[in-house]
Amino acid sequence: MATVIYSSQEQRLQKESNSGATGSRVSALLEQVRAARPAIDIERGKYFTESFKQTEGEKLILRWAKALYHYAANASVYIDDGQLIAGRIGKGIRYGVLYPELDGDILGEAIASIASRDTSPFDISEKDKGIIQNDIAPYWKGKTFHEALAKAIPADTKPLTYNNDEEFTSRFVVNETASFRSSIQWVHDYEKPLKIGFLGIRAEAKQALFALDEFNPVHNNENKPFLQAIILMADAIILWARRHAELARKKAAAETNQTRKAELLELAEICERVPAHPARTFHEAVQSQWFIQLFSRVEQKTGTIISNGRMDQYLYPYYKADLESGAITPNKAQELLECVWVSMAQYVDLYLSKAGGAFNEGYAHWEAVTVGGQTPDGQDATNDLTYLILKSKRDFPLNYPDLAARIHMRSPRRYLYDVAQTVKDGSGFPKLINDEEVVPLLLAKGARFDEAYDYAVSGCAEVRMPNKDTFTSPCAYVNFAAALELALYNGKMLKYGDEQLGLQTGELEDFQDFNSFLQAYLAQQKHLLKHAFIQQYHVNKLREHHFAAPLSSALNAVSVAAQRDIHTEFIPGGIDLGYYECIGYATVIDSLAAIKKLVFEEKTVTATQLKQALETNFENDELLRQRLLRTPAYGNDDPYADDFGKLIDKEAIAFTEGYCKTLGVRLDLRYVPFTSNVPFGKVISATPNGRFAWAPLSDGSSASQGSDKKGPAAILLSNFHTKNYDRSHRAARLLNIKFTPGSIAGKEGTQQLVNFIEGWRDLKLWHIQFNVINQETLLAAKKNPEQYRNLLVRIAGYSAYFCELSSDLQDDLISRTAHGAI
Amino acid sequence: MTDHEKTGYIFNIQHFSLHDGPGIRTNVFLKGCPLRCRWCCNPESHALLPEAAFDKSKCILCGACSLGAKEPAVRFEHGEKVIDRTALHANGERLALVCPTGAISLYGEQKSVGEILDEAERDAAFYSRGGGGITLSGGEPLFQAEFATAILREAKRRHIRTAIETCGHVPWETLREAAEHLDYVLYDIKSLNSVSHKEQTGVGNEQILENFRLLCEHFPALPKLVRTPVIPEFNEHEALEIKAFAESFPNVTFQALSYHTFGVKKYAMLGKTYTGYIKNTN
């Protein structure tokens, strides 16, 4: 009999059954987080609403700064027992907060059912429900971005975007993501506040204020409020941090344990000092960074994708100095980092809309930490802190923050092996991002070398240049499988009955040859892209009227130089890099290949037979379904299928090449679905690749579930061969590879994983992430969730607890082929 | 005929192999074998020519295998899906083509050296790291000696690293010629006792051991991995002895392979009987 080999994560689960506790400080903190079900804290929503009621008619960025100040002065502050890092913004151990300016219109109804929904539920008290329903929600009715956007989207784009209901629920055809978060994934320049403190930032703004031309009307109306807002925001964050210092002193006074008392007094000193002043020690730098992170989450609903940036770079000088002076040990530094990781895990992104919840299942967050890569002048960037952060991921099984390792041609062997070892430990960390693809693309998109080399991974697979990027609008998700369905049914979808959603390109039976059908598909694809861009036009125009972000603006050099809020539609000196999303890539490729092969080449199935089978969800046609499943499929390095992939990609890129200039923003094609391949699949009937109706679509640029039969190298090669490397209007492709632990066991296994990673790097693929897990383990976890509460799996750009995923997504994960030992 | 055009019979090209030589490899499985090891996990490799097989777990009794006749090749009898072996034997190729689920499949196809290497070379991006390349496996790859050597020669022309998995039961001259184009050899030694070797594999071990000595003598720089599948009630007790024997030669490493029964199902599919050791588990 074969021996099943378990990953270290699986071994740990079996050994410890339900608890990851080892008795140490951070394990104890983590235990509390794990046991807690997320709850809603209303303070952020409450104080913002109170302030906004007082500032009607003022410049938006000033209103935002005032709201931040009102929050900073009044909101509860917290320091957890045992914590070495201060700050959380919710009363629960795991909490979500409210951003009514975004979608407050659906707040009332959503709150009523949020505790019982399938995906990502939250608890809330009856008293808080009352406050939301009486004080918060009514103020925002008619004022939210969500409503404004729904009103602005033209009549013929709307049926592809929203259902015809009061809440504007999503149709999952051309989906907007702008009304469930206030920003696209983002990275701050953390180095600046660590170096000069918010007093420094304040002083710069003050100086700039004096330098304005007092007679200039634009200066008076735009620049002046911007600078005033920066000053007020700096005051706010400093005040808020010092309230933590006060709390620490109060706690210290009441503390009987002398060790803890000393810790609290030290923490009080640190919070008194940062982020107002420059950080002097590693502890101060970490605390300062966390205050900034957390205050960002007060500022706006970021989708928790205000990423942590290149932590091993900007924190390294403090770590190095402390090590040299003997002020810190690597263990102590690791503990501090882990204190921050736990704090990050406590915050849970609260999505009110069902679409938002379904996009981000398992309470996803995206505040990626980037390690490795290259320095701005193109040298290898790894240092001791890089290795310490990797080690922390191995030692400490927590899914937050997400960890991204940049890989380049000269990445040291030690780094590659450490990364491979961390991957093998089974939690899916880190994901890898390829400098050899990203850096040249950023150059082609208008960055300088130093800016491109210094990119940080952001959100689940994207990247940002913290002092160059200026486009913050969330973007459209386009269901390419819907285009396929529209081509099969003359512009209609089974889900939406008689509505003419697409072009009238004819029924499948009408096509005389395959090429005519292919052209019909491409016309439908273009039709959806047309509406995606129309949608985006309105998103881009509207956002600056609904959102401002003085903190994020102060931490972006372009925004500061132009003295314009970061959400302003165009800021001179920046690069506007957006994207749109292709959902269902492999589903479409495989379907086109199946139709070509069986209907038009072999002619063993007629178009009528195929359509009947699809319409009845293969009810009496299992035989046909089996034949469809065996036609050439993407993910097997088979040009028959992959050529369609390249064509779809090319046509989609051609569209954005043609029209992004008119928008003034690069909308580059990407394949990064989060978990949205599940909800997008729920509107797509049976497809010609043998997929049943309403089942998940293929995920990112991965193969259709179960149809990759030639192993992981072939999946990478299919990706390689379907990319249009001669085009620059492309962005991330998310690629999931599942390994069983046995296939990469032992030292040799690590070596092979390194070989594989190097092959991936040489192919210039953008992203890769691994699930190292036994299918048996997943099945067992689905059956007995209680015993597998700690089981982390990699989903899209992130890892989540398997047992918190919906049953659909669990099945999707189980059905993805596990690449066993060969 | 150039090496490029030479053809032979293979039954699989397996991409992304991690355990058949250094690095990431593409395995080419050649058909035909002079041995009949009782525990063999690749019964589809034994015969030189293509063979049809039937996997009843994939069969949905659709009837497509009637090939226009009245009766399908697969019938449902006494709650079991049963295939007409005579029909399968006679019309294997056509049946495999019409079967929608792949329940009837054909092991083996004729391919040219050029076709094989073109397909293998698609994986070249993975070869360049960790010393990867192609591995000839089987069956016994040198059972089709001329074809196998042509693949190796052509691979070297293309600067692809090569390895072979061999049982060693071939004429020395064949092995010698292949070794000229090899970077790595995985050499099976199953037993040092010729009598039990013959009983378990159908042949004695004299040629195998002699070839191994010659290989070490003539190609001392060629790295060799001696592998012994450890079979209960056959060579368990000998494993250490074989290891000592192997390692008495320079540039040789040893690996014991644990016994598994993954191939058992394939015997049933081919209408053959598994004669290997089956452990009583559970």
Residue A427 pLDDT > 80:
no
Q: Which of B14, B228, B43 is nearest to B137 (CA)?
A: B14
Nearest CA in chain B to A720: B125
Active site residues of A: 460, 462
Judged by DSSP in three states, A504 sits in coil
Contact across the interface for B281 and A630, Cβ inside 8 Å = no
Angle, vertex CA A356, rays to CA A352 and CA A357, nearest 5: 80
CB contact under 8 A, B126 and A749: no
Domain B51-107 coded CATH 3.30.70? yes
Interface of B with A (CB under 8 A): 14-19, 23-24, 27, 60, 62, 64, 100-102, 122-123, 125-126, 128-130, 132, 258, 260-262, 279, 281
Mean pLDDT, residues A740-769: 90
* CATH superfamily, with its number, for domain B3-47+109-269: Aldolase class I (3.20.20.70)
* Contact criterion met (CB < 8 Å) for A762 and B64: no
pLDDT of residue A489 exceeding 70, the answer is yes
What is the distance in angstroms between the Cα of B126 and the nearest Cα belonging to chain A?
5
A494: domain range?
164-178+473-548+576-733
Listed by start position, the domains of chain B span: 3-47+109-269, 51-107
Contact across the interface for A623 and B123, Cβ inside 8 Å: no
Neighbour tally for A722: CB within 10 Å: 26
Whether A630 sits inside 8 A of B62 (CB atoms) is no
Q: Which of A623, A723, A755, A761 to mutate to test the interface with B (most CBs of B within 10 A)?
A: A755
Residue A276 in domain:
no
Contacts of A8 (CB under 8 A, 6+ apart): A424, A425, A426
**From A624, A713, A758, residue closest to B15, measured CB to CB:** A713
Looking up tokens 């032992």, which residue turns up?
A: A746
Copy the structure tokens of residue A102: 């975004």
Could you give the dihedral angle defined by the CA atoms of residues A353, A302, A395 and A806, in that order, rounded to the nearest 10 degrees? 10
Question: pLDDT by residue (tens digit) across A639-687?
Answer: 999 999 999 999 999 999 999 989 999 999 999 877 789 999 999 999 9
Cα of B253 to nearest chain A Cα, Å: 15
d(CA B140, CA B164): 9
Position B87, amino acid: A
Least confident of A227-241, A343-357, A621-635, A747-761: A343-357
pLDDT at residue A790 above 70? no
Tell me the count of A-B CB pairs closer than 8 A.
81
Tens digit of pLDDT for each residue in A307-333?
999 999 999 999 999 999 999 999 999
B16, A713: Cβ pair inside 8 Å? yes
Instruction: Tell me what the mean pLDDT of segment B155-176 comes to.
Output: 97
Note the pLDDT of residue B62: 87
The beta-carbon neighbor of A710 closest among B15, B101, B281 is B15
Among A623, A630, A822, beta carbon nearest to B16: A822
What confidence tier does A15 reach under pLDDT thresholds 50, 70, 90? low
Instruction: Quote the number of domains for chain A.
Output: 1
Nearest beta carbon to residue A762 from set B23, B128, B260: B128
More confident residue, B18 or A583: A583
pLDDT at residue A444 is higher than 70? yes
What does the pLDDT look like over A106-163, one tens digit per residue? Answer: 887 888 888 887 777 788 889 999 999 999 999 999 999 999 999 999 999 999 999 9
| The pLDDT value given to residue B19 | 83
The larger pLDDT score, comparing residue B97 to residue A211, is at A211
- pLDDT computed for residue A673 by the predictor: 79
Domain presence at residue A775 = no
Report the alpha-carbon distance of residue B51 to residue B272 in Å, rounded: 12
Q: Note whether residue A350 is domain-resident.
A: no
Chain B environment of A710 (Cβ under 8 Å): 15-16
Asked whether the beta carbons of residue B16 and residue A714 sit closer than 8 angstroms, the reply is yes
CA distance A649 to chain B (A): 21
In this predicted structure, the answer to whether residue A265 has a pLDDT above a threshold of 70 is yes
Interface confidence, given as ipTM, is 0.89
- Residue A8: predicted pLDDT: 66
At B35, is the secondary structure helix, strand, or coil?
A: coil
At which residue do the structure tokens 């002043």 appear? A277
Q: Which residue of B has its CA nearest to A629?
A: B101
**Which is nearest to B183 in space by CA: B210, B207, B155, B211?**
B155
A792 within 8 A of A801, measured Cβ to Cβ: yes
| CA proximity to B29, closest of B112, B138, B130 | B138
In this predicted structure, what is the pLDDT of residue A821? 36
Q: What tens digit of pLDDT does each residue of A548-568 get?
A: 999 999 999 999 999 999 999
Domain assignment of residue A765, yes or no: no
pLDDT band for A798, please (50, 70, 90 cuts). low
> pLDDT exceeding 70 applies to what percent of chain A?
93
Residue A1: band (very low, low, confident or very high) from pLDDT cuts 50, 70, 90 = very low
- Residues in chain A whose beta carbon is closer than 8 A to a beta carbon of chain B? 1-3, 622-624, 626-627, 630, 637, 710-714, 716-717, 720, 743-744, 749, 751-752, 754-756, 758-759, 762-763, 819, 821-822
pTM (2 d.p.): 0.91
Coil/strand/helix, residue A97: strand
Smallest Cβ–Cβ distance between B24 and the set A623, A627, A755 belongs to A755
Instruction: Report which of residues B282 and A389 the model is more confident about.
Output: A389
Confidence at residue A535, expressed as pLDDT on a 0 to 100 scale? 96
How large is the average pLDDT for residues B57-74?
87
Of B40 and A718, more confident = A718
Q: What mean pLDDT comes out for the span B245-265? A: 87
